[in-house]
Structure 1
Amino acid sequence: MAKAETKMKVMVLSGECGLSASEEEEEKQRMLEMHAIDVVTTMGPGYKGPNLHVIRGYYLAKAVDEVKIYVKSYREIWKKTDVLKTARLLHQLFREVVLYVGVENIVHMMTDNAANYVVASKLLMEEFPLIFWSPCAAHCINLILQDIGKLQSVCSVVEHASGIINILAHKNELRAMVTSREWVSSAYAKYSKGKKFVESVLDSLFLEECAIIMRMSEPLVRVLRMVDGDDRPSMGYLYDDIHHAKEEMLRRFQKRKAKVKPFIDIINNRWDGQLYRNLYAVAFWLNPQFQYDANIMDKHMSIISGLLDVLEKYAHGNLPLQSKITSEMKLFRNAKHDFGRASAINNRTFMPPGI
């Protein structure tokens, strides 16, 4: 048995297990192979290597035991290093970061949307009132799409067939294929899965439901791409993009409001209960792309209250400072002084607010 173990080591050292060395390790590999040859010569003539049953039996079991021993050596360490992500512990971790960075240097904090993170962040804002917190926008949009996926009307479509997107994207070609002489005479057409596939392709109601789901979800996917991308900071655009997505969904199904209502309700529930924050309202109001578009601003006059809440919060009760901020808001709103320059006007819709 000792010879068999040596033989196994030789196989590994000589590269017979299928692994190849990188260019940087070629020299090392050659040395290992020479050593392997030396080991083989010590085995003597007539040696037979272990068969398949021995390798997958004895040697595999031995390797598993070695791994178990290795894992066991770390168990004591787990007790010292692993912790539960309770709200209290997360609050302590966040607090350490805030104190290290400096409260005066932090305006906005964003975390996961899980309940323990929400509680921890609320505790942090109670201790440091000048810090704003919001859940991750991309995570919230994903949760909205997950909620939509749980609707019975959506579930039934998904269960009806897989590969919905491919069917929709190529439905004309697929219809032509499943009605062709080649398909009808092929073996695929006789299988149960093939018959179900044909039923799905030719089922006009199914295709219509698929199209509705895609047209309903597409505006939300665009928002997800925006908040999850690196093209521009999303803070100044999220408020408008969410409302624009809802308006687009209502416009697409204006004659079928009952169809779109469950989708809108899901968005409103997540937006009102989790994602909307006064800081998003401020970023929207301060974005020149929206500020000077009367059609947009007139629909969202309610954000002024959130804007004032943020400004008063940072004024610390300093009335002269509040008056100064109010006067500067008027300059910005009415495009006075530098806000009225030709360069500022020309770049309202092209240049991100931060720039």
Structure 2
Amino acid sequence: MAAKDLLSVERPQIFWTSCATHTINLMLEAMGKMKKFKTTIEQAKALTIFIYAHHRTLALMRKFTKKREIVRPGVTRFASNFLTLQSLFEKEQLRKMSQSEEWEKISHVKSAKGVQATATLVRSNFWSSVALCLRVFEPLVKVLRMVDGDVKPSMAFLYGEILKAKGDIKVAIGNIPGAAGLYSSIMQIIDVKMKNRLDSPLHKAAYFLNPYYSYNDDSIFQSEEVMDGFLIAVETFYHGDYDKQAQVLNEEVHRFKDRVGHFGKQVAAAGCKDFDMNPAKWWGNYGTQVPVLQKIGYQNSILDFKCIRL
């Protein structure tokens, strides 16, 4: 952070952003420590540790699951916990295993930890809690996979997908007891971890310039928060060059917003409907009439930048 501050003085056009993978993982970890989810996650951990700690329980588990593991490595520690919960929930065979004669014959099962593991496997409210955890965490886990994957550059999609994840979490919580308070607490966690990390002017400018979002939701152009971020990003890109700042903000951005020229072509509209679209290539095709703005999104690759874990 100190180096960043020094660099920003020497190079005022430079941008700084937090590691997306690390920041989203912090969100998930904080959510996992909430009372609503913590007990379920700890029970799932204790269950998997017990099964994997003894060769007879491990062999029996692999027999019932047809050699499929329940512990799976993920991008981060919490992602691994999520995948384990997912594996547990998908395997009806585990519950059958806990009721089998072979399970009862294993001496370790009669220990205190074994009794606890068996109780966890047969407890219906444990499985319903696992289902809730998966529904609530999955939207952010999807974002985590996107930013850490090699499928496509993620900067242009990060801010928009976090906003989408917030809405998906609200749907996932539904009408369970205390839903409003739970949702409010989760949103507070996301907003606190996101602030000044994943909501920087760079992220908002990428969100603004990505037609997958802005051409499918015109309200983005009216958002004061997004526009402020875009303005700051333009000022930073063209630090001290007021002619280019004016060209972008007073002329070119309006051609993009109003879909003038190439932006108004049907093929341009069709090309930004699919989530798999590449916004940098889209700008390369249709942004030639706004050369200064195109440089921000295309030649400077703000839309073609992969959020990586350092």
TM-score by length of 1: 0.60
Q: Which residue of 2 is the match for residue 65 of structure 1? A: none
Q: CA deviation at 1:122?
A: 2.2
Given the alignment of the two structures, is residue 156 of structure 1 paired with residue 39 of structure 2, yes or no?
yes
In 2: Cα distance, 1:299 partner to 1:157 partner? 42
- Which residue, 122, 138, 163 being the options, matches 1:202? 122
Deviates more, 1:181-190 or 1:255-264: 181-190
| Cα distance, 1:188 vs structure 2 | 5.8
Aligned residue for 2:17, secondary structure, equals strand
Residue 215 of structure 1 aligns with an amino acid whose one-letter code is R
The superposition leaves residues 24-82 of structure 1 with CA deviations (integer Å, 9 ceiling, x where unpaired) of xxxxxxxxxxxxxxxxxxxxxxxxxxxxxxxxxxxxxxxxxxxxxxxxxxxxxxxxxxx
**CA separation of 1:226 and 1:300: change in aligned 2, threshold 3 A:** farther
Shift of 1:259: 2.5
Identify which range, 145-154 or 127-136, moves more after superposition. Answer: 145-154
Question: Structure 2 unaligned runs (5+)?
Answer: 49-83, 282-310
| 2:265 corresponds to | 341
- The alpha-carbon deviation at position 296 of structure 1 amounts to 6.1
Q: Distance between the aligned counterparts of 1:180 and 1:134, measured in 2? A: 53
Could you give the per-residue CA deviations for residues 154-184 of structure 1, whole angstroms, max 9, x where no partner exists? 33333333336243222x3333333345545
Does residue 12 of structure 2 align to residue 129 of structure 1? yes
Find the partner of 1:311 among 222, 230, 234: 234
CA–CA distance in 1 between the matches of 2:128 and 2:207? 37
User: Of 189, 206, 212, which aligns to 1:283?
Assistant: 206
Q: Secondary structure at the match of 2:279?
A: coil
Counterpart AA for 1:227: V
Q: Is the 8 A contact 1:237 1:284 kept in 2?
A: yes
Q: Which residue of 2 aligns with 1:292?
A: 215
Q: 2:88 corresponds to which residue?
A: 167
1:312-348 superposed Cα distances (whole Å, 9 cap, x missing partner): 3344455543332131111111111111223322211
Contact 2:8/2:14, CA 8 A, preserved across alignment: yes
Q: Does the Cα contact within 8 Å between 1:216 and 1:260 map onto a contact in 2?
A: no
In the alignment, is the contact (CA less than 8 A) between 1:144 and 1:266 conserved in 2? Answer: yes
State the distance in 2 between where 1:129 and 1:196 align: 59
Unaligned runs of 5+ in 1: 1-117
Counterpart amino acid of residue 280 in structure 1: H
Whole-Å separation in 1 of the counterparts to 2:239 and 2:103: 75
Higher relative contact order at CA 8 Å, sep ≥6: structure 1 or structure 2? 2
Pairs within 5 Å for 1:7-22: none
Instruction: Return closer, same or farther for 1:181/1:300 CA change in 2, 3 Å cut-off.
Output: farther
Is the aligned partner of 1:242 residue 2:155? no
Select between 270-279 and 154-163 the one with higher mean Cα deviation.
154-163
Alignment check: 8 A CA contact 2:94 2:121 kept = yes
Aligned partners of 2:230 and 2:120: how far apart in 1? Answer: 51
Deviations 1:172-200 (A, max 9, x none): 33333333455456656544433222200
How many Å apart are 1:147 and its aligned residue? 2.4
Structure 1 residues 186 and 138: alpha-carbon distance in aligned structure 2, compared to 1, 3 A threshold = closer
Q: d(CA) in 1 for partners of 2:169 and 2:195?
A: 18
Aligned sequence identity (%)? 31
Q: Which amino acid aligns with 1:121?
A: K
Distance in 1 between residues matched to 2:222 and 2:164, nearest whole Å: 11
Given the superposition, is the C-alpha separation of residues 261 and 184 from structure 1 closer, same or farther in structure 2, using an over 3 Å criterion? same
- Give how far 1:293 is off: 1.1
TM-score by length of 2: 0.68
Q: CA deviation at 1:150?
A: 3.2
CA contact (8 A) 1:290 1:296 kept: no
Tell me how far apart the structure 1 counterparts of residues 218 and 142 of structure 2 sit (CA, whole Å): 22
The number of residue pairs the alignment matches comes to 237
Residue 236 of structure 1 aligns to a residue whose secondary structure is: helix
Name the counterpart of 1:119.
2
Q: 1:146 to 1:241 in 2, by over 3 A?
A: same
Which residue of structure 1 lines up, in the alignment, with residue 80 of structure 2? none
Counterpart residue identity of residue 185, structure 2? P
Q: CA deviation at 1:304?
A: 0.6
Residue 10 of structure 1 corresponds to which residue in structure 2?
none
2:56 is matched with which residue?
Answer: none
Q: State the SS of the aligned residue for 1:335.
A: coil
Q: Deviations over 1:189-228 (max 9, x none)?
A: 5444332222001222222222222221111111011111
| Helix, strand or coil at the partner of 1:135 | coil
In structure 1, distance between residues paired with 2:241 and 2:140: 41
Query: Which AA in structure 2 matches 1:352?
Result: N
Give 1:298 deviation, angstroms.
Answer: 6.6
Aligned equivalent of 1:353 = 279
Residues 298 and 130 (structure 1), Cα distance of their counterparts in 2 relative to 1, 3 Å cut: closer
Corresponding letter in the other structure for 2:90: A
